[in-house]
Structure 1
Amino acid sequence: MVKNKKTDKKFSRYTVFFIAMGIIFSGIISRLLYLQVVMGEEFKKQSTEKNYKNVSKVAPRGEILDKNGEVFATSIQSYTLMFTETTESKESFLTTMDKVFKKLDEKGVAMVDEFAIAIDSSKEPKVRFNFKATDDANRRWMELRFKKDRGIQSIAIKKLYPGKDEKDLNEEELKKVDEELLKISAEDCLNELLKEYDLLDKDEYTLEEKRRLLVVLDAVKMQSYSGYKPVVIANNLSKEVAFLFEQLQPDLPGISVETQPMRYYPNGDLGSAFLGYTSKIDSWQQEKYEEKGYDVSSDSVGKAGLESSFEDILKGTKGQESIEVNKQGRKVKTLGEVEAYPGKTIQLTIDKNLQEIAEKALDDTMANLQKQGRVADVDSTNATRAAAVFMDAKTGKILALASRPGYDPNIFTEGSLSAEDSEKYFNPNLEKMGKEYIESRGLTSIPGVLTEEEVATMSYEDKVNTMLNRMFPLNDSIEGNTTVREDIYDIFPKPFYNYATFTLIPPGSIFKPLTAIAGLEEGVITPDTLIYDDAKYNKRYSDYNGACWIYNTQGGSHGAIDIRKALEVSCNYFFYDVADRLFAKGGESSSGLNYLAKYAWKFGLGVEPGSNIKPSTGIEIEENFGQVYNYESSKNIFANEYINKLVNFMNTGTDSINTTPHYKGIDITKKEEKGSNKEKEAIKKVNEKKTALVDAIKEEMKKETKAKEEEILPKMQDLLKDLIESSDELKAKKYSDKDIEDMAIAINYSIADAISNRISGANAYDASIGQGMNYFTPLQLANYMATLVNGGNRYEMHLVDSIIDPVTGDKTEIEPKLLEHIDLDEEYVNAIKEGLRRGASNDEGTASTAFSGFPIEHGAKSGSSTFNQNKQDSLGRTSYATFLGFAPLDDPQIVSCIVIFDGGHGGYAGPVARAVYEQYFRDEILGKNPGYEFKYPDSREKNSKDATNEKTTENLNK
């Protein structure tokens, strides 16, 4: 057969063409796959290292000024040492960092170190987490976030669910992963990260040196997807050090020196209670700030106080700079720039001069009290915490707000929080501190925390350890915890806790002017009513043990006295009687018990339950808000109190009448749901039955009148039977019908006790002298006194006076806001003010000790309120010293509230008020007495001299 040459030739030409095209396209597709998939991440990274970059320019944060323009917080240009990861800098990272760290050490410059794993060879464990958290919930969250951000979670998932990824797990499984994640120690985390960065086997480095390298590498990784993002190695360099690194740049790939605005607090810890601080954005808040346009890898935000409350106003608007960079990532030149717009200036109502003296006087007064130690019935050696509020009597403007001890906000902005400071502030060694506290004060010999039997029979070492575990127990919310303890009795000072705005304390006798105004306005007394101080106040209740302090300490009496004298000498008996008269006027019912609350609410001492009034003084920073004793709120308080007592009765097989065990004990408290799934379900089932029982008991305790016994007993027996049947452990105890009946009787007795005590007029007696269920902040107390002496106007308290645009000069002033006007009889107010004048000036006045020779007529009330009636002495604590005052008498301008924890007597806080008054009225005092000796020098003159010296130094440097 003859082949068709034409056909073969055609077939051959097309075949070759298609094969060639197939090869070409396959090559193109393969190359595209390689470039986009295989090399995608590398090219993406290289794209961030091009010669041209757009860089955000940080806006200077707005200033915070005092009322006179003195600076509390500002932004300064800081020399910052940066590291940018490029191909070249990555290859020479170790040698570069060796040189950098050597120079930093030589110049005594601390690197920015916010890495949450610390190493301390002197402690166990040597490697530990170091999170900046003041409570356990935050600490737990920080630990989880830290581990997840760094991929440690994969270890927990691999252990629990081999072969699965996070996306394959349900909610319950993810919770188990979190629990497993929390078990991974700091040392194991550190080793995983060192392994990841190929540092684990670098034996030429010590562990501390490896960690130092890791700090930089970790920072690079955490912002690796943000493009041109150098990381900060050191902040606030001196000119000398900055110039040194500029010279060394050719030998240090990736290292550069830049100027950036940095938050600066020129007065150190002055005003830290209201200023707060700025710091890097926490990982759990990243989404919130990303939505607002923040760069979460590098931006700082306000974390507390005004810095946090006014973040949106202070932050300013970022600028943009287009730059050319070299292969080392350093800027060569600017191609174009949009200037950043600075944040707005906040001008405060605070007077820096008064603030300085308030803090200095608090510190000095506490130091004197610590040195004084025990005097008569108080031991003030632990007077280590205090608060003071000074406010304009007529506007709600706060002139000084102090919480001691404070802290220096600069340690956060500079990133130079040392390991020692971090431990002191966020992770104190409570085991060591607690033992030292217990032993140095000889607390093992005082019953209270220990029973009398334990004091008498236990060895000294056992007593110390038992007290340690009761006063500073291990935190059981942390699984497997053997080191983290809690200070449940608030023994040690907490610098980040604002004692002026958060502390809820019983006010003691400084509440008595409120009782006086209620009695006068309700007509149960007049300014001239005489009440005889007749030892113990048992007119209505023979078992009530209340008496005046003069009877308790001297067996004496104040005799027949009116309201003025009662305030001067702080006679408890007089105010018990006022409360009793109000109780009688209200028909010896809840109405009579609520008279004090009715007036207290008008003065801002709590809010009426169910009124929908916002519980706040109006201050712009975070606060607590306390409540006055009132009948409605007392229902919950009494129910909880008597449930706690009942728990003890039922554990021991007793009741409130029979102290001898007469039935098998039972535990009605819920248990932690832990163990296997089966064990957890079993515990959960029992807990549900316990909750049903306790809720039913509380419901009965809250009723206006007690239900009949024949109604209560069967109901409680049924609930007890349900509880017993739900638990194999309880069923094994074989409770008899008699046991269950006696349990129900014990419950019935406790219900009766709770109701009878709740409706007793004795609650009003306790409240009338500022004890019992009254708890307020120093802010609330200052505002109450201002309202009383300024004519009945209660203003919103505020720290900010105006907001100023630093570029245009536009100023927005904050006007005083009237919250409530109270129509007070002028005669009654004058009678109270006269009593407070005597209290501050007369020899018998309880607030007069510190004011001898003070030339401005004023009024004051001191107080002493119990911290813990049963355990106070055994805890090494004593009563709060409280002080409330105003000046001058006839036309009040300034109001003061001082609280010293473990200060003993309110009169001991008087020197703080006097020191601030001296500064406030300095010119007037000198006009009356040019030779007057002030406690503290004129802070205005001191600040003027400091400014002059600073200017001179600046000129010399130029």
Structure 2
Amino acid sequence: GLIYDRNGNLLVGNKVILTVTLTRQVAKTDPWIIPKLAATLSITPQQVSAALTNPNYSIYKPVPVEFNVPRSVAMLIEEQSSNFPGVQVTLTTERYYPNGNMLAQMLGHTGQITGAEMTSPTYQGYAPDAIIGQAGIEESFNSVLEGQNGTTTYEVNALNQVVKTLAVKPAIPGNDLVLPIDLGLQNTLDTALANQINALHSSVDPTTGIHPPATSGAAVVMDVTNGDILAMSSYPSYDPSLWVGGISESNYLNIESPTNGTPALDRVIQGEYTPGSTFKLATATAALNTGLISPYTNINDPGYFQIPGNCSGKCRFHNAGNEALGSLNIIKALAASDDVFFYTLGYQFYAKAGQYGSTPIQDMANKYGFGEITGISLPGEQSGRVDSLATREALYKAAPKAFNPPGWYTGDNIEMAFGQGETVITPLQLADAYATFANGGTRFAPKIAAAAVTPNGVLAKSYPSVVKDRVPLPSSTRGPMLTGFEEAISAPFGTVGATGAFNGFPSSFPLAGKTGTAQTNHVEPDALLVVFGPANTPKYVVAVVIDQGGYGAQADSPVVKAVFNYLISHTIGPIVLPKAST
């Protein structure tokens, strides 16, 4: 079947190609045909022989030797058929991708079934030469897209030579699949992310004084009201047509090479990043919901937090920029991303574990979906993890040489509270968590398929939104937090507002969000930014992560702004079902 976006734009299609086949019997009796055919097709005799000995091809059918043969070559073979015994030119189909490298990782690719897959119950009864989905949407929805194979029953003699055809059962075409993706928005996201990463290479981070390496990035746009994925981008990307007809070894190594940025990696669901201050969503919610603080609680920020009493090891924690913001409440603490405020919350939760339990922040993070897969219908999604004693014990058990012996102390709880330590999340988890807050507490499984449609244009199946969890967000919690997220974008003391990145943005479409600057083993931090809007009636959330991009407010804002400019000027309409396939 074909794959469409929400507006009926083709994302993955099929095209008719010319395929040259050769029967094994003729190749055995007239072996001279092998080098002759190879020369005609501009391939080696070894390639022809390899096809003939491929056990995945039926012994009763001609063997495909070369796909997508130029028409001039096909005509030569047909016109001189007497010189090419056992050779036929047939019409077959193969996948094609009309939008180049757009959505390459998410859409995935097809390929010939492997020996290991043949033994799986999932593929019981499949022919050895079956083409199946091997990654992405193609893999997840293989059973929807593939249809049913046709069969031909032959009568053969003792030499396994076909004598006659006994019966033919025609194949049944697969269904088409409609995604909630908006192609125009997707193009905007891809372009903005790639342009910004390239622009960062020639900029200078005013904090570190270096050119950000900005090695890679990921971004995703969701509808907060139902979990629809409207666009998702992983950079660098590649041309998925490389897989058509079988990928070459050199191309495979290129798209899997870390030196090239591992273009095959879908960073939206497989990239795991330290969340930095974006994790304060969980800490703030836990503190307000449990009553550790109220919206009116003020905490003094002298520029650092000192662990009280006797302390060994790291006992003083400074703000990232060494600023001192004085007395502030949860609203300003979120807007200005004040670390001392959240150091204090981490300390208080640790000191009052008898009252609030040992993992109140982690428990709330889990409610938001951190530390578990989101449930998106794509293979290979990573779960991330939320730092805790149990997490450290598991890490140490799995890799004792890579991690320190597990322990959990005051400083660990402080670091976890503001998104450092061993916590890692995916960009999709980040978007889903803030979508949950934006819509009032309903966490949806991100939805990547809208409907399956028969080739006759009849709806075969709808894919409803799935609720994974609900986060309690009373007005006493959500109200001040929302104000803090709004002021982070618009107030002069907000992390984004201070940069002027959204100056001139329409006041009729207010935005709210949170920056994150994740300190890693690199000189330049990872840059995170998640923004939702309109803040008063949220509809969309955008999450952007740039690896070694610097500071979230400066590095990611141009991408987010480009997306919201598109959303303001373009209506995301209802799902359009394709008409009958031709």
Q: How many angstroms apart in 2 are the aligned matches of 1:536 and 1:899?
A: 27
| 8 Å CA contact retained: 1:507, 1:865 | yes
Aligned to 1:581: 348
Change (3 A) 1:230 1:636: same
Change (3 A) 1:642 1:766: farther
Q: Given the alignment, which residue of 545, 548, 563 partners 2:316? A: 545
| 8 Å CA contact retained: 1:394, 1:790 | yes
Residue 102 of structure 1: CA displacement?
Answer: 4.3
Aligned to 1:390: 221
* Structure with bigger RCO (C-alpha 8 Å, 6+ apart): 2
| 8 Å CA contact retained: 1:79, 1:239 | yes
Aligned to 2:185: 354
Q: Given the alignment, which residue of 505, 509, 512 partners 1:859? A: 512
| 2:376 is the alignment partner of 1:619 | yes
| 2:203 is the alignment partner of 1:372 | yes
Change (3 A) 1:353 1:220: same
| Residues 738-765 of structure 1: CA deviation (Å, up to 9, x unaligned) | xxxxxxxxxxxxxxxx65xx1x222221
Residue 347 of structure 1: CA displacement?
Answer: 1.2
Residue 63 of structure 1: CA displacement?
Answer: 1.4
Aligned to 1:771: 420
User: Secondary structure of the residue that 1:217 maps to in structure 2?
Assistant: helix
Aligned to 1:819: 468
User: Secondary structure of the residue that 2:119 maps to in structure 1?
Assistant: helix
User: Secondary structure of the residue that 2:178 maps to in structure 1?
Assistant: strand
Residue 365 of structure 1: CA displacement?
Answer: 1.2
Q: How many angstroms apart in 1 are the aligned matches of 2:209 and 2:359?
A: 33
| 8 Å CA contact retained: 1:380, 1:902 | no
Change (3 A) 1:274 1:802: same
| 8 Å CA contact retained: 1:256, 1:330 | no
Query: Where does 1:467-506 land on structure 2 (aligned, <5 Å)?
Result: 493-506=261-274
Aligned to 2:576: none
Change (3 A) 1:884 1:225: closer
Task: Give, as a single letter, the amino acid of the residue that structure 1 aligns with 2:472.
Answer: D
| 2:541 is the alignment partner of 1:895 | yes
Task: Give, as a single letter, the amino acid of the residue that structure 2 aligns with 1:504.
Answer: E
Task: Give, as a single letter, the amino acid of the residue that structure 2 aligns with 1:78.
Answer: I
Q: How many angstroms apart in 1 are the aligned matches of 2:229 and 2:90?
A: 40
| 2:254 is the alignment partner of 1:424 | yes
| Residues 41-73 of structure 1: CA deviation (Å, up to 9, x unaligned) | xxxxxxxxxxxxxxxxxxxxx112112221111
| 2:320 is the alignment partner of 1:562 | no
Change (3 A) 1:390 1:843: same
Q: Given the alignment, which residue of 225, 245, 249 partners 2:77? A: 245
Q: Given the alignment, which residue of 254, 263, 267 partners 2:95? A: 263
Query: Where does 1:442-481 land on structure 2 (aligned, <5 Å)?
Result: none
User: Secondary structure of the residue that 1:233 maps to in structure 2?
Assistant: strand
| 8 Å CA contact retained: 2:287, 2:293 | yes
| 8 Å CA contact retained: 1:406, 1:495 | yes
Aligned to 1:317: 148
User: Secondary structure of the residue that 2:479 maps to in structure 1?
Assistant: helix
Aligned to 2:364: 599
Q: How many angstroms apart in 2 are the aligned matches of 1:376 and 1:808?
A: 56
Task: Give, as a single letter, the amino acid of the residue that structure 2 aligns with 1:884.
Answer: V
| 2:493 is the alignment partner of 1:840 | no
Higher share of residues assigned strand? 2
Residue 890 of structure 1: CA displacement?
Answer: 0.5
User: Secondary structure of the residue that 2:452 maps to in structure 1?
Assistant: strand
User: Secondary structure of the residue that 1:312 maps to in structure 2?
Assistant: helix
Change (3 A) 1:305 1:291: closer
| Residues 123-146 of structure 1: CA deviation (Å, up to 9, x unaligned) | xxxxxxxxxxxxxxxxxxxxxxxx
Q: Given the alignment, which residue of 609, 630, 640 partners 2:388? A: 630
Higher share of residues assigned helix? 1
User: Secondary structure of the residue that 2:24 maps to in structure 1?
Assistant: coil
Residue 74 of structure 1: CA displacement?
Answer: 2.1
| 2:26 is the alignment partner of 1:74 | no
Task: Give, as a single letter, the amino acid of the residue that structure 1 aligns with 2:503.
Answer: S
| 8 Å CA contact retained: 1:273, 1:401 | no
| 8 Å CA contact retained: 1:349, 1:398 | yes
Residue 401 of structure 1: CA displacement?
Answer: 1.9
| Residues 368-396 of structure 1: CA deviation (Å, up to 9, x unaligned) | 11222665316455322211121110111
Aligned to 1:450: none
User: Secondary structure of the residue that 1:764 maps to in structure 2?
Assistant: helix
Task: Give, as a single letter, the amino acid of the residue that structure 2 aligns with 1:548.
Answer: N
Q: State the TM-score, normalizing by the size of structure 2.
A: 0.88
Query: Where does 1:649-728 land on structure 2 (aligned, <5 Å)?
Result: none
Change (3 A) 1:891 1:322: same
| 8 Å CA contact retained: 1:579, 1:768 | yes
User: Secondary structure of the residue that 2:543 maps to in structure 1?
Assistant: strand
User: Secondary structure of the residue that 1:549 maps to in structure 2?
Assistant: coil
| Residues 148-194 of structure 1: CA deviation (Å, up to 9, x unaligned) | xxxxxxxxxxxxxxxxxxxxxxxxxxxxxxxxxxxxxxxxxxxxxxx
Change (3 A) 1:825 1:424: same
Task: Give, as a single letter, the amino acid of the residue that structure 2 aligns with 1:420.
Answer: S
User: Secondary structure of the residue that 2:316 maps to in structure 1?
Assistant: coil
Aligned to 2:580: none
User: Secondary structure of the residue that 2:68 maps to in structure 1?
Assistant: strand
| 8 Å CA contact retained: 1:378, 1:879 | no
| 8 Å CA contact retained: 2:38, 2:45 | no
Aligned to 2:108: 276
Change (3 A) 1:291 1:368: closer
Residue 232 of structure 1: CA displacement?
Answer: 2.4
Q: How many angstroms apart in 2 are the aligned matches of 1:912 and 1:402?
A: 11
| 2:305 is the alignment partner of 1:534 | no
| 8 Å CA contact retained: 2:12, 2:98 | yes
Q: State the TM-score, normalizing by the size of structure 1.
A: 0.55
Q: How many angstroms apart in 1 are the aligned matches of 2:79 and 2:154?
A: 21
**Structure 1 unmatched runs, 5+:** 1-61, 106-110, 112-211, 429-489, 607-614, 647-697, 699-753, 925-937, 939-958
Change (3 A) 1:560 1:640: farther
Residue 620 of structure 1: CA displacement?
Answer: 0.8
User: Secondary structure of the residue that 1:394 maps to in structure 2?
Assistant: coil
Residue 566 of structure 1: CA displacement?
Answer: 1.5
| Residues 297-349 of structure 1: CA deviation (Å, up to 9, x unaligned) | x2211111111112222111122457999xxx999x99975331111122112
Aligned to 2:276: 508
Task: Give, as a single letter, the amino acid of the residue that structure 2 aligns with 1:921.
Answer: I
| Residues 410-443 of structure 1: CA deviation (Å, up to 9, x unaligned) | 222233x3453233235x5xxxxxxxxxxxxxxx
Residue 592 of structure 1: CA displacement?
Answer: 4.8
Task: Give, as a single letter, the amino acid of the residue that structure 1 aligns with 2:25.
Answer: T
| 8 Å CA contact retained: 1:278, 1:409 | no
Deviates more, 1:786-795 or 1:354-363: 354-363
Q: How many angstroms apart in 2 are the aligned matches of 1:239 and 1:382?
A: 47
For the aligned residue pairs, the C-alpha RMSD in angstroms reads: 3.1
Residue 275 of structure 1: CA displacement?
Answer: 1.1
| 8 Å CA contact retained: 2:451, 2:459 | no
Change (3 A) 1:256 1:513: same
Task: Give, as a single letter, the amino acid of the residue that structure 2 aligns with 1:583.
Answer: Y
User: Secondary structure of the residue that 1:564 maps to in structure 2?
Assistant: helix
Q: How many angstroms apart in 2 are the aligned matches of 1:796 and 1:819?
A: 6
| Residues 861-899 of structure 1: CA deviation (Å, up to 9, x unaligned) | 11111222xxx34xxxx3211111101110111111111
